[in-house]
Structure 1
Amino acid sequence: MLQGWLVQVGVVVASVVGLWVGARWLVDAVGRLARRAGLSDLTIGLTVVAVGTSTPELAVSVDAAAKGLGDIAVANVLGSNVYNLAFILGVVAVVRVIPIAESLVRRDGVALLASVVAVGAVLADRVVTRVEGAVLLALFVGYTGALLWTGRGSAAADGADASAETGDRAERVSFRARDAVLLVAGLALVLVSGDRLVVAASALARGAGVSEWVIGGTIVAAGTSTPEFAVSLVALRRGSLGVSVGNVVGSNVFNATGIVGVAALVGPLSVSPSAFATLAWLAGVSAVMVAALWTGRVLSRLEGTLFAGSEVVRWVLGLLG
């Protein structure tokens, strides 16, 4: 039995690595396309990078929906969103105090809160139907279309600093055959790794007597969020604050609307009552985060520490409860 457990843990670890590598290939390839199209740093972070780093969540949730594992499909999304806001932005703020662009607070902060309300509304009866999934997906398409329409060529308005602009010019290259290979290979790696992660996590949950909801909202959620974590830290180191913060906010909007929407189209999602506790935690973290950004237009190291600590508490309570 111990050998089987170790094998499943190994599969989980290998799957997380595969998700991270595959998502980075996707982001690098598609990011070059976006920069060549003249999109600003913040817009790229909110759209292209956000969707790219969320491909693990998409692969895992869609695969779980196809297998009839609604708890893992939805818990992965809600858990990833809490992890993104509390832990990733928290750690990023500890590394460096983050000044926030006004547009991110007023426009995208509202979109973030609206996405939580939307996913909460469709989960009220613990079932997400195909019709509700289509509505969520339409909301995401509308939001992204508006960002792309208004964000083209607005790098200066988003407050990109000189180092970020230098990076933009350095990466403004053509979309080559190598990028096409990276895009396809990255997508394939994400899909395969996502499938293996769902299977292994389900087996671990059953063997340990832990609910699929808890596994999906903690281990799977953190695993599928590794690309967001890596991209945010790398972008911060390069001085690209728009990508670092926009990646997290955009990923959360995409997760709550686009991913739940697509997963529900694959198959109606039924969830356990545990969904409401995670949803309430997500709503609370989202509201406090937006309020903190709105009042101070900066995320301090103290605030970052408190947010990251709250995620550690959520994990402990979930795994022990």
Structure 2
Amino acid sequence: MNVAILGSLALLVVAVAVLWVGAEQFVEAAVRLARRFGVSGTVVGLTVVAVGTSLPELAVTVEASLGGRSMLAVGNVVGSNIYNIAVVLGLVALVRLIRVSQRVLHRDVLAVLGATGLLVAVLFDGRVSRLEGFGLLAVYATYVVVLLRFADATTHEPTDVDPPKRFDALRLVGGLVLVVVAGQLLVDSAVTLARFAGVSDYVIGATVVAVGTSTPELAVSVVALVRGRSGVSVGNVLGSNLLNVLVVLGLAATIQPLVASAAAFDGALWLAGLTALLAVALWTGRRLTRPEGGLLVGSEAVRWLLGFG
């Protein structure tokens, strides 16, 4: 094993450690600041936390678009969203029962289903045009307006949240910086290892890069759930998936029209089915149970066994 490979492995371990430290700081500061302004944990997860944890996807996808590597850009979005549902939410549900409000079901779960449907539609012809990119961005802007206009302050989270502290704003920014930088380091080291193994651009984007850029979502969601902030966990995943399709892919397409392979369309179809499965699970009792979490995690193993997307 050469020095470059050993260096990449070491960087991978360091990045994961820094990621968890940053995630813990970011979640606690975000929740306390939100409570100060009367904002629910779910709304925080759908907006602030989702944007923060999706920055690695945005950086990688835009960079790939600028470099003319459409397959990597599209693969990152599709793969990240699959990973967020199957692995992030699945593992979180295995740790603890996840409850959601009726407002989340009627507004946010349906919004994710709609965005995933749009993803399938724009990838149907094997490309994402600039016009389609602008359309995706416009849909997200509309969603945020609706979210803030009809935000529901009711949550299932603990009411004994620590009061805002003096350096919360600094912790918020510092934690976010650590999450984003560590996520990028993780991606860089993972891509180096994948290329050493001779893996193609789309496969790198849909697997190694997708897992790497989604690790912030996993870190933030698990930390949030362990600390009793289930709304942040669910909101983070739903918000990240919305942002990945509507903003990350939309912005990348406006910069440079993207080309998508048949494998990308297959992956989008799998994502649509997985999102529908999540919606059904949440609608049955407004919660995600351990068995349902296990089903989501197991779906990822099935996907790779079938070689689907």
> TM class, shorter-chain normalised?
0.7 to 0.9
- Indicate the residue corresponding to 1:79 in structure 2: 79
Shift of 1:105: 1.4
CA deviation profile, 1:279-309 (whole Å, cap 9, x unmatched): 1110110011101211332222111111111
Given the superposition, is the C-alpha separation of residues 238 and 183 from structure 1 closer, same or farther in structure 2, using an over 3 Å criterion? closer
Q: Give the gaps of 5 or more residues in structure 1.
A: none
Match of 2:243, as an amino acid? F
Shift of 1:78: 1.2
- Indicate the residue corresponding to 2:228 in structure 1: 239
Q: In 1, Cα distance between the equivalents of 2:252 and 2:184?
A: 14
> Would the aligned equivalents of 1:77 and 1:221 in 2 still touch at CA under 8 Å?
yes
Q: In 1, Cα distance between the equivalents of 2:224 and 2:208?
A: 25
Bigger mean CA deviation after superposition, 52-61 or 5-14: 5-14
Match of 1:277, as an amino acid? D
Q: In 2, Cα distance between the equivalents of 1:237 and 1:192?
A: 23
Matches within 5 A, 1:208-287: 208-287=197-276
Bigger mean CA deviation after superposition, 259-268 or 111-120: 259-268
- Indicate the residue corresponding to 1:304 in structure 2: 293
Shift of 1:141: 1.6
User: Which secondary structure does the structure 2 equivalent of 1:166 belong to?
Assistant: coil
State whether structure 2 residue 279 is matched by structure 1 residue 290: yes
Given the superposition, is the C-alpha separation of residues 59 and 189 from structure 1 closer, same or farther in structure 2, using an over 3 Å criterion? farther
TM-score, structure 2 as length reference:
0.86
Shift of 1:272: 2.4
Match of 2:153, as an amino acid? A
Q: Give the gaps of 5 or more residues in structure 2.
A: none
Given the superposition, is the C-alpha separation of residues 148 and 11 from structure 1 closer, same or farther in structure 2, using an over 3 Å criterion? same
- Indicate the residue corresponding to 1:4 in structure 2: 4
- Indicate the residue corresponding to 1:92 in structure 2: 92
Matches within 5 A, 1:109-148: 109-148=109-148
> Would the aligned equivalents of 1:59 and 1:190 in 2 still touch at CA under 8 Å?
no
Matches within 5 A, 1:177-188: 178=167
Given the superposition, is the C-alpha separation of residues 63 and 190 from structure 1 closer, same or farther in structure 2, using an over 3 Å criterion? farther
How many percent of aligned residue pairs carry the same amino acid? 51
TM-score, structure 1 as length reference:
0.83
Match of 1:71, as an amino acid? M
CA deviation profile, 1:129-148 (whole Å, cap 9, x unmatched): 22221211111121112111
Q: In 2, Cα distance between the equivalents of 1:263 and 1:22?
A: 27
Given the superposition, is the C-alpha separation of residues 293 and 38 from structure 1 closer, same or farther in structure 2, using an over 3 Å criterion? same
Given the superposition, is the C-alpha separation of residues 202 and 66 from structure 1 closer, same or farther in structure 2, using an over 3 Å criterion? farther
Match of 2:142, as an amino acid? G
> Would the aligned equivalents of 1:16 and 1:223 in 2 still touch at CA under 8 Å?
no
- Indicate the residue corresponding to 1:60 in structure 2: 60
Q: In 2, Cα distance between the equivalents of 1:17 and 1:97?
A: 26
Bigger mean CA deviation after superposition, 264-273 or 127-136: 264-273
User: Which secondary structure does the structure 1 equivalent of 2:81 belong to?
Assistant: helix
Q: In 2, Cα distance between the equivalents of 1:180 and 1:13?
A: 28
